[in-house]
């Protein structure tokens, strides 16, 4: 537990620095991200270009910061939307039961049986590229794990004595859900959300790598990796920098989420030796 706390503090600092850098990127770009300088194409790291340049002479660091704005925004919004959708479906399924529970459960099973990337590719290919279609594709394919987890936990919480007592004294269903059911889902849902963020960040990168994300001259981490792949031997930082950025952000969010999940779950997750 102590090692997790230490790792989460380091992750919080690293993630805060990355988010701040991406947030203020338009004011700290070393060079305009789309500015081309063919005379300096595929340059190595130097005081002028800290991460070198790409095949069109564009500064890699500037494009990395610009790409982070898109990649992290889509992953964060996608995580929020998938979490809210999945929890709503799971809790509704557990509360209503009957035919509605059966319908939602079977729908969940069908979507879980189909690879998420295949569905996302179909949606983006049908609706076009850009922020909106990509976010919709990630939401449609990503809510199912939250729904299954929320349904299982809501079933368990709904059978406990305090929920039955609230129902007996006449508390409305909405009060029971928001006062008694939802708070008990917080820990596991937070843990699932952080894992989902990392998966969505990778999915955004994969779709953009295939050309289904932002379009030139804009950039995100996936499109940067695709553009830099043919020139890996001459300018390895072009593909290493965005790949490492995806890995570091996903790792930091996962570590923070695990720490938050332990705290939200309360003393039940605290080892006996540590609780003394």
The pLDDT score that the predictor gives to residue 64 is 92
How many angstroms separate the CA atoms of 44 and 19, rounded?
A: 26
Q: pTM (2 decimals)?
A: 0.82
Query: In Å, what is the CA distance from 182 to each residue of 176, 186, 191, 209, 250?
Result: 9, 7, 15, 37, 26
DSSP code, position 212: -
Q: What backbone phi and psi angles, to 5 degrees, belong to 59?
A: -65, 125
Give the residues across from 59 on adjacent strands: 53
Which helix (H) or strand (E) is 128 found in, with range? none
Say what the pLDDT of residue 267 is.
Answer: 41
Distance, CA of 198 to CA of 137 (rounded, Å): 16
- For helices 182-209 and 131-142, give the axis angle rounded to 10 degrees: 130
What is d(CA 200, CA 78) in angstroms, rounded to the nearest whole number? Answer: 7
Cite the DSSP H helix spans in the chain. Answer: 2-23, 25-28, 60-96, 98-113, 116-127, 131-142, 144-158, 161-168, 173-176, 182-209, 221-228, 237-265, 272-275
DSSP one-letter code for 59: B
Residue 131 CA to residue 137 CA, distance in Å, equals: 10
Q: What does the buried/exposed string (b/e) look like for 132-145 if buried means 16 or more CB atoms within 10 Å of the residue's CB? A: ebbbbbbbbbbbbb
Per-residue pLDDT at 243: 92
Fold of 2-275: MetI-like fold (1.10.3720)
d(CA 19, CA 255): 16
Q: What pLDDT sits at residue 1?
A: 55
| Residue 257 backbone dihedrals phi, psi, to 5 degrees | -65, -40
33 exposure class (CB count in 10 Å sphere: 0-12, 13-18, 19+): buried
- Residue 155: CA atoms inside 13 Å, Cβ hemisphere, count? 11
Compute mean pLDDT per 10 residues along the chain, 276 residues long, and list them. Answer: 72 89 86 86 87 89 90 90 90 80 83 82 81 85 87 80 73 74 81 86 87 79 89 88 92 81 51 35
Predicted local confidence at residue 268, as pLDDT: 38
CA-based end-to-end distance of the chain: 14
């Amino acid at each position: 537990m102590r090692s997790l706390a230490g790792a989460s503090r380091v992750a919080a600092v690293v993630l805060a620095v990355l988010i701040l850098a991406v947030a203020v990127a338009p004011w700290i770009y070393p060079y305009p991200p789309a500015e081309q300088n063919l005379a300096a194409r595929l340059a190595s790291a130097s005081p002028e270009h800290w991460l070198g340049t790409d095949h069109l002479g564009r500064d890699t660091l500037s494009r990395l910061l610009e790409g982070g704005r898109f990649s992290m925004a889509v992953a964060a919004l996608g995580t929020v939307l998938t979490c809210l959708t999945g929890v709503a479906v799971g809790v509704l399924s557990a509360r209503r039961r009957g035919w509605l529970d059966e319908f939602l459960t079977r729908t969940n099973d069908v979507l879980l049986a189909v690879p998420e990337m295949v569905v996302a590719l179909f949606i983006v290919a049908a609706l076009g590229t850009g922020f909106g279609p990509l976010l919709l594709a990630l939401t449609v394919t990503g809510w199912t794990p939250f729904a299954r987890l929320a349904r299982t936990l809501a079933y368990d919480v709904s059978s406990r004595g305090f929920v039955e007592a609230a129902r007996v004294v006449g508390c409305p269903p909405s009060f029971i859900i928001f006062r008694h059911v939802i708070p008990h889902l917080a820990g596991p849902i937070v843990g699932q959300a952080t894992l989902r963020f990392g998966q969505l960040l990778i999915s955004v990168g994969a779709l953009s790598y295939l050309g289904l994300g932002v379009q030139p001259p804009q950039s995100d981490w996936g499109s940067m990796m695709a553009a830099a792949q043919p020139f890996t031997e001459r300018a390895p930082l072009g593909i290493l920098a965005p790949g490492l950025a995806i890995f570091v952000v996903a790792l930091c969010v996962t570590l923070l989420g695990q720490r938050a999940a332990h705290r939200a779950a309360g003393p039940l997750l605290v080892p006996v030796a540590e609780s003394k």
